[in-house]
Amino acid sequence: MQEIAHAAQLSGLNNEDIAYLASLGTFGRHASNISKTLIDKYCKSDELVVPQPYVTRVPMLVRRGNTEKVVLADHHFFLPTDWVASITQFNDSAVINQVFNFDKVKDFWNDHDSEDPKLYKNPVTQIKDFKRTVNPMLLHGDGGQFQRRDSLNVISLHSVLSSFSTAFKFLFLTAMPKKCTNVDKRNNENDTMYAIWRILVWNLEAAFRGVHPETQHTGEPWPANSNRARMAGKPLFHGYKLWVFGINPDLEYLQNQFGLKCQSFNECCWMCPANKSDIPFTDAAPFAEWRKRTYNAKQNRAQPATDHIIMQIPGVVNETFCIEALHTNELGITSHYIGNVLWDQVYQKYGAGKTVSERMSNLWNLVMQTYSDLGISSSNRLGKLTLEMFSDPSRPHQDYPCLSQSKARQARYLLPVVVKISEANMQENPCTYTALCVQAGKALLNMYNVMDTAGMHPKPLERINFREAVDIFQMNYGRLAAESQRKEEKKWNVVNKFHYSAHSPDYFDFFNIRFCSAYGGETEVGLVCALGHRCLDGTPPHKISSKLAYKYRLGQHLRLVHNAEVAFEESDDD
Ligand SMILES: [Zn+2]
């Protein structure tokens, strides 16, 4: 870059920025200094809409030679309260709306039903004027691969009200390599993620009160004359406050990071006493025992879903944990439904063709034809369909069918295609089985139609329609599952995600679960991991947070101030 700028200058271009770039590293004579000079000037500047990182020491697992040791090492965070200060510092309403959209706070609360169980005895309702000042936020965490055999645990926050539709609305908070994460349940002081969450909880508590933290998280005063010392105890922008309205990672993260009761527990649900024995989570009946005993708001307040420190953020209650649609539905119930219908085409010989491979190739042709009949855009289609994507061809009767290797969005748009195929089967082959397949599929499509057309706060009729669609799907799929079990066939598997989806109408009544799905979050994790990968050259993983923070600062600043909602392929890999 310096060479190009210098050449441009020599050929007569007279421009301040070019002259500066040309002069870097003493006009290229000390080229190795250029990168550091640029990072210091641009990535560390106070003039960015992305805050300066908060740097503090946390316990990390560090490998030296063949030994591993827990050491305290510097780690970089972007604090939510600092984000509010930096995003609002230039009063640029376009940038502020992309991220926080405070103007919409009043509308959100006007539309939000005060009967929402999440609001029962919730400290947010104790805030004077909360319907004018409290911005609802979603907290996301997920692991993403950033180098061979290591992943980053990426934690971020975004406003439900953000006007930005892509991943760029996310406020990146911090990222920790898995290999550096020490787990010590007996001594929190040695536990890496405990230290990380303690700092985030400390700051989100201040954000909830709507003030810049009075001290550092340790209770020590801020360094004299620092920006943070000047801001200490002062209200956030115009007295606004941030409330963690939803926590929306996938189920694995909810269970492994926050200790919520999910698939690995015998009592496998944090919303009701469903279990793997006498109150079966698989019971899809309208009068299932777990339905009668689903926890109400009063029970939820008396019995926190987890003892994780995250429950100490004021305003976080059991209902804060979202039923996240991408993993529960698209990569859950929808993928199971699709897998079974496709399996029948090939192995139940519903499709045309004499051999498995003939039926498979006819099936793919049929899928492509139906995509085009239904006008499904090519970006939402599967690029290929193979037997391995819904069965194990070497032992097709020994594993439950389920669509895999498909992105969430592709599963969503394969559903109408598969329902069409199912309808054709019923025409050809009218019987209870094919009718149940069609009814389950149509109900699932209805569920998506209601979600896709309803706004953030569903209207009474939309609530009824959503609940009806979910219940009809559960009932028909449940009958198919029961019938397969009776015949000892491995089909129509009922995994935990069906149970969580069955709870989803209780959430949809007060907030459309489409608006807390992890689509953007998955993209954000992908971006941070790609950046993390680029910070690795010669840097041990426990030190990458500094490089990552400064590179992210400049990149995100440019995206926000140049309104760079550019064409960017959203990733929704699991
Ligand atoms: Zn439950």
Has residue 566 got a pLDDT over 70?
no
Instruction: Please tell me the distance between residue 255's alpha carbon and the centre of ligand 1 in angstroms.
Output: 14
pLDDT average, residue stretch 147-175: 91
pLDDT at 573: 46
pLDDT at 521: 85
Sign of torsion over alpha carbons 159, 165, 171, 173: positive
Amino acid occupying residue 33: N
pLDDT average, residue stretch 397-425: 97
Instruction: Please tell me the distance between residue 371's alpha carbon and the centre of ligand 1 in angstroms.
Output: 36
Amino acid occupying residue 206: A
pLDDT digit string, tens, across residues 429-442: 999 999 999 999 99
Instruction: Please tell me the distance between residue 306's alpha carbon and the centre of ligand 1 in angstroms.
Output: 15
pLDDT average, residue stretch 334-338: 98
Has residue 176 got a pLDDT over 90?
yes
Question: Which DSSP state fits 513?
Answer: G
Instruction: Please tell me the distance between residue 155's alpha carbon and the centre of ligand 1 in angstroms.
Output: 26
pLDDT at 567: 40
Instruction: Please tell me the distance between residue 563's alpha carbon and the centre of ligand 1 in angstroms.
Output: 42
Q: What is the mean pLDDT of the chain?
A: 93
Instruction: Please tell me the distance between residue 141's alpha carbon and the centre of ligand 1 in angstroms.
Output: 22
Give per-residue burial for 67-102: e unless 16+ CB within 10 Å, then b.
eeebeebebbbbbbbbbbbbbbbeeeeebbbbbbbb
CA separation for the pair 290, 292 (Å, rounded): 5
Contacts of 442 (CB under 8 A, 6+ apart): 419
pLDDT digit string, tens, across residues 431-478: 999 999 999 999 999 999 999 999 999 999 999 999 999 999 999 999
pLDDT average, residue stretch 82-101: 93
Contacts of 538 (CB under 8 A, 6+ apart): none
Instruction: Please tell me the distance between residue 326's alpha carbon and the centre of ligand 1 in angstroms.
Output: 18
Instruction: Please tell me the distance between residue 296's alpha carbon and the centre of ligand 1 in angstroms.
Output: 12
Q: Report domain extents, the chain.
A: 2-42, 54-249+530-562, 325-516
Instruction: Please tell me the distance between residue 173's alpha carbon and the centre of ligand 1 in angstroms.
Output: 31
Has residue 564 got a pLDDT over 60?
no
pLDDT at 570: 46
Instruction: Please tell me the distance between residue 315's alpha carbon and the centre of ligand 1 in angstroms.
Output: 22
Instruction: Please tell me the distance between residue 269's alpha carbon and the centre of ligand 1 in angstroms.
Output: 5
Instruction: Please tell me the distance between residue 273's alpha carbon and the centre of ligand 1 in angstroms.
Output: 6
Instruction: Please tell me the distance between residue 307's alpha carbon and the centre of ligand 1 in angstroms.
Output: 19
Instruction: Please tell me the distance between residue 248's alpha carbon and the centre of ligand 1 in angstroms.
Output: 17
pLDDT digit string, tens, across residues 518-562: 888 888 898 899 999 988 888 888 999 999 998 899 888 888 887
Instruction: Please tell me the distance between residue 414's alpha carbon and the centre of ligand 1 in angstroms.
Output: 28
% helix, strand, coil for the chain, step of 5? 55, 10, 35
CA neighbor of 97 nearest in space, from 566, 569, 563, 516: 563
Instruction: Please tell me the distance between residue 353's alpha carbon and the centre of ligand 1 in angstroms.
Output: 43
pLDDT digit string, tens, across residues 339-391: 999 999 999 999 999 999 999 999 999 999 999 999 999 999 999 999 999 99
The percentage of the chain sitting over the pLDDT mark of 90, rounded to a whole number, equals: 80
Instruction: Please tell me the distance between residue 170's alpha carbon and the centre of ligand 1 in angstroms.
Output: 30
CA separation for the pair 136, 121 (Å, rounded): 17
Q: Which range has the worst mean pLDDT, 162-171, 243-252, 393-402?
A: 162-171
Question: Which DSSP state fits 354?
Answer: S
Instruction: Please tell me the distance between residue 270's alpha carbon and the centre of ligand 1 in angstroms.
Output: 6
Instruction: Please tell me the distance between residue 507's alpha carbon and the centre of ligand 1 in angstroms.
Output: 12
pLDDT average, residue stretch 326-343: 98
CA separation for the pair 508, 113 (Å, rounded): 12
CA separation for the pair 259, 551 (Å, rounded): 33
CA separation for the pair 547, 45 (Å, rounded): 15
pLDDT at 8: 79
Instruction: Please tell me the distance between residue 447's alpha carbon and the centre of ligand 1 in angstroms.
Output: 19
Q: Are 116 and 125 in contact (CB under 8 A)?
A: no
pLDDT average, residue stretch 14-26: 79
What is the SS3 assignment for 518? coil
pLDDT digit string, tens, across residues 479-503: 999 999 999 999 999 999 999 999 9
Instruction: Please tell me the distance between residue 504's alpha carbon and the centre of ligand 1 in angstroms.
Output: 10
Instruction: Please tell me the distance between residue 280's alpha carbon and the centre of ligand 1 in angstroms.
Output: 10
Paired tokens of 493: 């598997």
